[in-house]
Structure 1
Amino acid sequence: MGRITIRDFHDDDLDAVVRLWWEAQSSAEPPVYSLAEVTASCREDHAVVAVRDERVVAAAVGRAAHAQGWIVFFGILEDARSENVSGALFDALERKMASIGLSTLSVLMPEGSRVDLLTSNGFQMRHSLRYLERQMPVQRREIDLLKDVGGRILPRHLWEQVAGMRREKLLLEERLVAPLAQPDLADRYGVVPPHAVMLFGPPGTGKTTFAKAVASRLDWPFVEVFPSRLGDGKSSMAASLRDVFERIGELEHGVVFIDEVEEIASQRSDPPTPTQGVTNELLKIVADFRDREGMLLVCATNFIRGLDTAFLRHGRFDYVLPIGLPDAEAREAIWRRYVPHSVAAGIDFADLVVRSEGLTPADIEYAARRASQEALVRALRADPAEGKRAPDAPTELATEDYVAALSVTRATVSEEQQATFLEDIDTIARL
């Protein structure tokens, strides 16, 4: 049996490192880092191997984060453990990484692992530490693609920020989020995860907000397709739509959102309208989505009666869900979002909630911002030279200011539109 030598990692060693990782994976001490992370660090960071008779018997792989070095993988065959190969490997990796100015070299081990190979080579145990991790929603290979299709990763917790609207949130949680986030549980009960859903309701009721909240809740990229931007003069709207969805289809996961879908899904007629081709293409895309895992198409419309009847047939959209005006709890949350914290204690929110019934979130935001602007104008007029409120100027923002702003705020949704929406819930909604 030949002598063991230590050398730098070569590309030809990758298969051997993979075998070492798989052996460790099936042992009582599985690796902390994934195989993809280990192989990436072999190629791009720092790695050394121990070789006997041209056969790799051990490997150590590291990466650096500022002045902190991390061993992302250490594997050694059983027949090489008795020859202090570990010490030589750690020393070689340390020398290799020292040139980049590291102050410490650290390693994470599964609970219950043997640590004698580490402690005997100068590593010290740090107690009362916990390791936590979370998966990135988009892998590196998808970042450029996501930018290309105009997608983005939304902040977490958008779901929790949608206050009130309990009925709508419960529907979305039970029908969309749970089956997609817990496919094994859905399969247990014979539930097929949804692939396409239609949201409908009066304008300004928060359909886009709910679509984004679903993406945030799933921790999936959010891609919005704008009907008004389809077609560049070189290709038709239908071809442009097909091209966009072909590129989106390369993502592993995603919530794809089309707002005001009635622009490209209106009733087809004879003779054909200029948009009939794109309507046909969208119907094909919806059908294709039903064969895709890990993707959800969300369409939204203010005028569901204007959609082509083919869109609302069973087998196209899994659910047709209504999104209506904000309830009392939601209206209070919206008011509190826009009323400055410095004056909130003196505001009668209960009164504002009652007075803003029938308004959309955008209407309430307008009234709140108008009240703030009027208060600023009063302060400036009281002392125009300095822009400060004079001692005898009107008091700071009060409930009366918001009531005054509400008195000149036009409701986006008329009583007739609200009545039509309620009828559509009875005749069109599919929950």
Structure 2
Amino acid sequence: MQPWIIRDFHLDDLDQLIDVWQDSRTSGAHPVYTLAEIIDACTNGLAVVAVTEGTIIGAVACVLQDDRAWVLTLAQAKEWRERGLGSALLAHVEGKLASRGVRRISALVPASETRIRAFRNSDYRVEEDLHYFERTIPVHPKETRPLSQLGGRLLPHGLWEALAGMQYEKHLIEQRLILPLAHTELAKSLGVSPPRSVVLFGPPGTGKTTFAKSIASRLDWPFVEVFPSRLAAHPQGLAGALRQVFLDISQLEHAVVFIDEVEEIAATRTGEATSPLQGVTNELLKIIPAFREQEGRLLICATNFIRSLDNAFLRHGRFDYVIPIGPPDLIARIAIWNRYIPSAFAQHVDVDVLAKASDRFSPADIEFAARKASQKALESAVQSDQPTTMEMPLTTAAYLHAIEGTRATVTEAVEKDFLEDIDRIARV
């Protein structure tokens, strides 16, 4: 006669069941299901427990999906292992599942678990060719509403990898920002304080926004962009609206917060107390230290005019780094050109020549030149009496002609100022 009885789970059993579940776990094994999921299966799915002398010594909890049941846990107290308890629990729950119309019972169990023997003894088939994949959604359900209200979102994976070229900037940001934030505990153990706020500066159109989004994608954190111009009509004024936005952001576990053209609200103060922007700058100077006290968040401010920012805004203690983002380098320009040249004509175009000819071009400049060449080719094709026999419309020469007619955003003067700003202001 078995020294235990098996019965349905009762809510009063929960504390003991948790104890048995913890006792049954194999040290070092990755748990497939969380305790919260198991408790939910006990209360909303199907669960049975094995009891002896009023003490729970084993349990099985399942969730039901149509004609399939998933076993979330098969727990046994250590002193009751290797005595047939696991097989008895599985047999009991199988009978109850069959009466509910379940045809298939499945389980995912770490390979190191001793409970695998109970499944084998109960004629469960091992599917050798299956791989277990898991991904944790980075936004908790309770964060969904505040994130939506802030206009935030999770960005697609792979944005960081898609950043071609810009190797110096990528390496710098990877080392200074991403590594300490992605490996927080290791960083702290080595005396590295994960960054909380940074400034990206450089000429217009050099990809500062793209870098900010790519950082969020790389960290797998929600991206929240703050638009001061949209907050100006708030009943509390721009300063009050900024304060409220950052209070709302504090509800998120993780976030990359981005403010573009920050010089609009953090320009050098004139000293005039009546200036409305001075109040906004003062409020922002108060917000940043409070923001920096919270882990799991990164504030990225971008500016085209680093010289116009208030000195107090850039000082140590408010921003960990002030990082220059210059025009795309040669490798980056090659990648950008390849993005806009139609595949049917790619073999007829020397992209290296185009990249060298478009020095100091921003990504937007290259896109404009490429589309200009395509537009010219379309007009020629439509106007031709025999468009199908016309010469190759998109060639290296056609693109070079478009480059000659495109004004680079980054002029020699702008580039000179940018290099001076790197020497004088950058902090990396």
Specify if TM > 0.5. yes
Aligned partner of 2:290 in structure 1 is 288
- Counterpart CA distance in 1 for 2:401 and 2:130 is 56
Residue 413 of structure 2 is matched in structure 1 by: 416
Q: Match of 1:331?
A: 333
**Partners of 2:20 and 2:56 within 8 A in 1:** no
| Contact 2:4 2:50 survives alignment (8 Å) | no
Where does residue 59 of structure 1 map in the other structure? 59
> SS in structure 2 opposite 1:23?
helix
Over 3 Å counting, the alpha-carbon distance change for 1:75 and 1:218 in structure 2 is same
Deviations 1:347-367 (A, max 9, x none): 111110111111101111122
Q: Quick check: 1:401 aligned with 2:398? A: yes
**1:38 and 2:44 equivalent?**
no
- Structure 2 equivalent of residue 197 of structure 1: 198
Distance in 1 between residues matched to 2:233 and 2:167, nearest whole Å: 42
Q: TM-score, normalised by structure 1?
A: 0.89
Q: Deviations over 1:143-200 (max 9, x none)?
A: 2232222111112221111111111111101111111112233234322111110000
Question: Structure 1 regions of 5+ residues with no counterpart?
Answer: 384-388
TM-score of the superposed pair, with normalisation by structure 2: 0.90
Q: Which amino acid aligns with 1:424?
A: D
Alignment check: 8 A CA contact 2:263 2:303 kept = yes
Query: Separation in 1 of the partners of 2:67 and 2:363?
Result: 48
Higher mean C-alpha displacement, 117-126 vs 87-96? 87-96
Which runs of 5 or more residues in structure 2 are unaligned?
A: none
Asked if structure 2 preserves the Cα contact closer than 8 Å seen for 1:203 and 1:413, the reply is yes
Cα displacement string for residues 296-349 of structure 1 (whole angstroms, at most 9, x for unaligned residues):
111101111111111111111000000000000100011111212222122111
Task: Measure the CA separation in 2 of the matches of 1:83 and 1:416.
Answer: 83
Structure 2: which amino acid aligns with 1:71?
V
The 8 Å contact of residues 41 and 62 in structure 1, kept in 2 or not, is answered as yes
1:117 paired with 2:127, answer: no
Q: Which moved more, 1:83-92 or 1:203-212?
A: 83-92
- Note the C-alpha offset of 1:220: 1.4
Aligned residue in 1 for 2:171: 170
Larger mean CA deviation between 60-69 and 278-287 belongs to 60-69
Partner SS for 2:266: coil
Distance 1:316 1:29 in 2: 42
Equivalent pair of 1:24/1:30 in contact (CA under 8 Å): no
Question: Quick one: which amino acid aligns to residue 293 of structure 1?
Answer: E
Give me the whole-angstrom Cα distance separating, in 2, the residues matched to 1:326 and 1:27. Answer: 50
Identity %: 49
* Residue 310 of structure 2 corresponds to residue 312 of structure 1: no
Matched residue, 1:106: 106
2:368 counterpart (332, 346, 366): 366
Which stretch shows the higher mean deviation, 415-424 or 134-143? 134-143
Q: Secondary structure at the match of 1:275?
A: helix
Give the match for residue 259 of structure 2.
258
Residues of 2 paired with 1:279 and 1:164: CA distance?
Answer: 35
Q: What letter matches 1:213 in structure 2?
A: S
Q: 1:304 to 1:30 in 2, by over 3 A?
A: closer
Equivalent-residue separation in structure 1 for 2:4 and 2:99 (angstroms): 28
Deviation at 1:135, TM superposition (A): 2.9
Given that 1:21 and 1:31 are in contact with CA atoms closer than 8 Å, whether structure 2 keeps it comes out as no
Partner of 2:238: 237
**Structure 1 residues 96 and 241 mapped into 2: Cα distance closer, same or farther (>3 Å)?**
farther
> Alignment RMSD, CA only?
2.7
Aligned length: 425
Question: Residue 164 of structure 2 aligns to a residue in which SS?
Answer: coil
